[in-house]
Structure 1
């Protein structure tokens, strides 16, 4: 294990202390964590020594929406900060500890995980590690920056419309959104019961794979890299796309083709069905169902933009909502049938990280937030799995995304390993 991954039980104590010191002392690490878990981490590091568990010695950060025993699960809000502490770890978090993980802290995020850009007015916004002065991406903002800065090896987060993949893209790391039902949702604060998934971010596909296997309670066994036919959807994901993203993606397609991948461009018929399943129907209604009391009684304590998005639940009826869910079930089957054993290839986001100063206006924020979410949301609405892979082109740090039908996580990871080799070469 030591040869394949950057962690080692013999040095975990020293690595932990260095990571904690950096988290507390460097400006680049400001606002990454809501709370460091120093005492627990030191105990876990001591326990890891001499063991051969799959994650023994790995430094892992935990998004602030997961239950961690003895800690308040705030979801980076103020309305939940006075809740009683969690009595036990979330299922996925408990599995990580059993595998030898060392929890560095609870990472910052968009309030209630309800934004793709990662801003938080309550706890501050983490600094983008690659694009100074720009949004870190969300909602798992702190986790992505923690991995990019070396504050942890793996970040655990959630993904409702790209919340693992967007911040991974904006910070030059890998983000994996597994099929929803592969990882238990027990002990995690929800945004959308329909769309939420729990998964990891790291600096490689192999690290994400290992963390996911542990979170899912699966046998830990690495898949071999394997090429698959890659489909670029001509009718989705390329409108309102910025020039550096276009140039980078064209270069990716060229490199993959030269490396022996079959890459085809075609329209996807399922996109027409997809256009009739608005994600906001699910996120607004389902978040309100969970947090309605706070929504009504203490609106002044919310991020106003999050409160406004939750408020959109009043724009649709119960019948509208149910019809959206019905259409989604049709969509999920149609997507799996059409994509089959192929894997979709497209830019993770059509935009570069926007400057935070450009997000002061609500109209600009809403436009760029929707653009950031647009491409990755396809995987959530179609109950699929997706992964964001970093690469560089013409001085820009960019990200390519692979999406496979639900349940095809292992095939997706195998293909991602093969693609990762090409992008990193």
Structure 2
């Protein structure tokens, strides 16, 4: 039987072989991971287990605190910040569950983009094609799971930052309802919208990891029957400018769902999307809240921050407080309206991203193209955060490049969404 230590050493050997050009991991905890792996092997040998994650090799995004080290959040501007005095809550819970924490994965600086580029530490190439973007902001997380250097990776999702890299690298990415998983010890982007979620190879692995991070008992998922499932398709702006390959993969998935008896209907949310757009016309909630998070160093360390990140944050710092407070109040009302709108359905379904992963080089060379593509990549996922919903991206097999199928469910319906996703996952894998 292959031991946990054997698996870990294989990964460490792989990382050592590319150490001179490592862009997926920013830190690797070799010795601590070996100790955790040996402890997991000892428990296994004795017939003991701490649960379903015992001995699982897990990486964490660079914005989670680890005791004794400075949390950089993909930046160089925070190098002189104080070291964390304790692990983030989710890190503590994962360790108690027996997880082998391998290291910290690369990310977009301050988590502020859906593309995955990082000028300070290099951009991880997409696992399917290293010339293409990994998706962001949990860029290293998506690549790590897809390439097999982590079995599970933990990311954050404020506008799609778990689901986007999952979709573009061909793995599963789950965004829970915000604040279901504690944010303590996670460097914030937008406290109102931030959520913490796993990327993994299977829905079951995501469900187990989510339960542990949320402080719940773990239990096996029972895939929800798809026959009679009420599925809404939000045709409209979320389907414009969709890449033909993505569109074909999505429509094929709808055909499979129909074939197994799901009831698929067009379900309009255009009015609510427009109202949210009108509400946030001055600036996004995420960028306004980010301007407060970074207020102490945005100017003094301007030269150390990616200008594409800094510009948006600085711009939003000028939004008056009354505008922001009214924005939050209106968002709560719109979230309640969306919850009611979705009540006749089990899930919404749509492509996770409108396009597959574009090439890195043109985006690095052209800021206008960067901003245009960033908006398009984020468009389909970010409404889930704006309206406080839960969502998951599943890989659609048989495509030229990875494509994600996204299921969205109502606030707090996380477990039910995971059960439905497990059924859809089986259907996609079998092609029927």
**2: CA distance, partners of 1:223 / 1:278:** 38
Paired residues of 1:176 and 1:199 also in contact (CA < 8 A) = yes
Paired residues of 1:270 and 1:338 also in contact (CA < 8 A) = no
Ranges in structure 1 where 5+ consecutive residues have no aligned partner: 1-7
Paired residues of 1:255 and 1:422 also in contact (CA < 8 A) = yes
Q: 1:28 to 1:411 in 2, by over 3 A?
A: farther
**2: CA distance, partners of 1:71 / 1:413:** 34
SS in 2 for 1:237: helix
Pairing of 1:168-317 with structure 2 (within 5 A): 168-226=166-224, 227=226, 228-268=229-269, 269-278=271-280, 280-317=283-320
**2: CA distance, partners of 1:24 / 1:366:** 35
Report the alpha carbon displacement of residue 21 of structure 1 after superposing the two structures with TM.
Answer: 1.3
**1: CA distance, partners of 2:258 / 2:20:** 38
Q: Does 1:418 align with 2:423?
A: yes
**2: CA distance, partners of 1:28 / 1:277:** 47
Report the alpha carbon displacement of residue 322 of structure 1 after superposing the two structures with TM.
Answer: 1.4
Pairing of 1:142-153 with structure 2 (within 5 A): 142-153=140-151
- Give the length in aligned residue pairs: 417
Task: Give the match for residue 123 of structure 1.
Answer: 121
Q: 1:45 to 1:115 in 2, by over 3 A?
A: same
**2: CA distance, partners of 1:27 / 1:189:** 26
- Listed one character per residue, the Cα deviations across residues 369-402 of structure 1 (whole Å, up to 9, x for unaligned) are 0100000001100111100000134533211000
Q: 1:252 to 1:98 in 2, by over 3 A?
A: same
Task: Give the match for residue 34 of structure 2.
Answer: 42
Q: 1:372 aligns with which of 368, 377, 400?
A: 377
Task: Give the match for residue 112 of structure 2.
Answer: 114
Q: 1:395 aligns with which of 396, 400, 408?
A: 400
Q: 2:332 aligns with which of 313, 329, 332?
A: 329
SS in 1 for 2:298: helix
Q: 1:103 aligns with which of 101, 122, 130?
A: 101
Paired residues of 1:234 and 1:266 also in contact (CA < 8 A) = yes
Task: Give the match for residue 76 of structure 2.
Answer: 78
SS in 2 for 1:285: helix
**2: CA distance, partners of 1:144 / 1:73:** 20
SS in 1 for 2:297: helix
Report the alpha carbon displacement of residue 28 of structure 1 after superposing the two structures with TM.
Answer: 12
**2: CA distance, partners of 1:412 / 1:386:** 8
Ranges in structure 2 where 5+ consecutive residues have no aligned partner: none
**2: CA distance, partners of 1:235 / 1:331:** 18
Report the alpha carbon displacement of residue 23 of structure 1 after superposing the two structures with TM.
Answer: 1.9
**2: CA distance, partners of 1:332 / 1:61:** 32
**1: CA distance, partners of 2:36 / 2:69:** 16
Of residues 297-306 and 335-344 in structure 1, the stretch that sits farther from structure 2 once superposed is: 335-344
Paired residues of 2:291 and 2:317 also in contact (CA < 8 A) = no
- Listed one character per residue, the Cα deviations across residues 39-87 of structure 1 (whole Å, up to 9, x for unaligned) are 1111111222213112111000010100011221100101112222211
**1: CA distance, partners of 2:20 / 2:206:** 24
Paired residues of 1:68 and 1:88 also in contact (CA < 8 A) = yes
Report the alpha carbon displacement of residue 354 of structure 1 after superposing the two structures with TM.
Answer: 1.0
Of residues 210-219 and 70-79 in structure 1, the stretch that sits farther from structure 2 once superposed is: 70-79
Paired residues of 2:389 and 2:408 also in contact (CA < 8 A) = yes
**2: CA distance, partners of 1:364 / 1:122:** 20
- C-alpha root-mean-square deviation of aligned residues, in Å? 1.6
